[in-house]
Structure 1
């Protein structure tokens, strides 16, 4: 190979390598599209409605983020078990699919600030006057048998009496019949269930322990992560986040 050919080949390699590792924000700006993955099978966060349209809280979050960045939102439905692999393979720019931030995932991808939080939540009947778990010493709380909430209560709140059930529907029956004084379950799941089934209950107090949900991007795209974080801040400040959260989840989950 001649010296000139070697120089040209080396230059091409550098250009291609730079392109391969370019921050995804550049690609988003160049194409005018922010592609983001979700399953489409996790209502009310993402689902296909009766008209065949993709809907949900995560879909709206992605759309608002893209709008703030100044590009078109392009949601991509994919199977959950391959969603991180698809991000790493460059099939989309981000995952906006209710993904919890964990140490294991942080080894593979980067996350934005949490865009909502969930975790173990105490629920009590409306009008009970209870504002937190400290007021339930000696009282009976329902939990689903074998879930982490039971173990947490036994370890951290031994003064509370625990009654176990096969599932949340059985817990709600006993709550309505005043056989228990409250129950502990996932915050979002509990809120949606009492809303949809019109149960006379409400969440009270802070999360017993939290779970943070973030937007995943590739590790070589810090500027895209920063742009998404900035967009999230804007939609919180201008009220759009609260509107979307109340629309889909019945409360402001942030």
Structure 2
């Protein structure tokens, strides 16, 4: 059996990164579950990359999210590639979703060579969830959206320009519903429907039905061939 080791699944994206040069980095302490204070607190890490032209106020603060979920924030090189000239007069706020990167990363054991041991993935994920106990429900999109707003409030930023890709479009849609007065602009690339099931249960049900139809037709064809 493959050995279990702490957290190789997320790899480098889960590891706390050094504060980028020139950035202001910090953490905000938030309730782990805002409805259940007894569960304690967690830390949410961020890095604020200042605009290049500091002689005037920022035209806005961009918050990117590359998707996932479960990935730490983008690197400054990725930010530069994405936003280019916008960096002249826009600050960029990078934050790590709770459980990864600078935000109190979870440590769960997974097979070291996961690609060759996918048969153990379900068991490893289940063990991780059980190890969290009552805290397992505290790592959803609504909590992450509220964490972002806590970071915004601590930094004194009035409104955010949100740029989401893939799952990031879902997360920022949740943020916009929960904190609409704090959204300056919302840009989405590869948007998820707000009611999209990120676990893919609808897709799994459709695949099961499709396989069932194929098998039924195959069985009928075999019976027809046997009669002739």
TM-score band, normalised by the shorter chain?
A: under 0.3
TM-score, normalised to structure 2's length?
0.26
Structure with bigger RCO (C-alpha 8 Å, 6+ apart): 1
TM-score, normalised to structure 1's length?
0.24
More strand by share: 1
Larger radius of gyration: 1
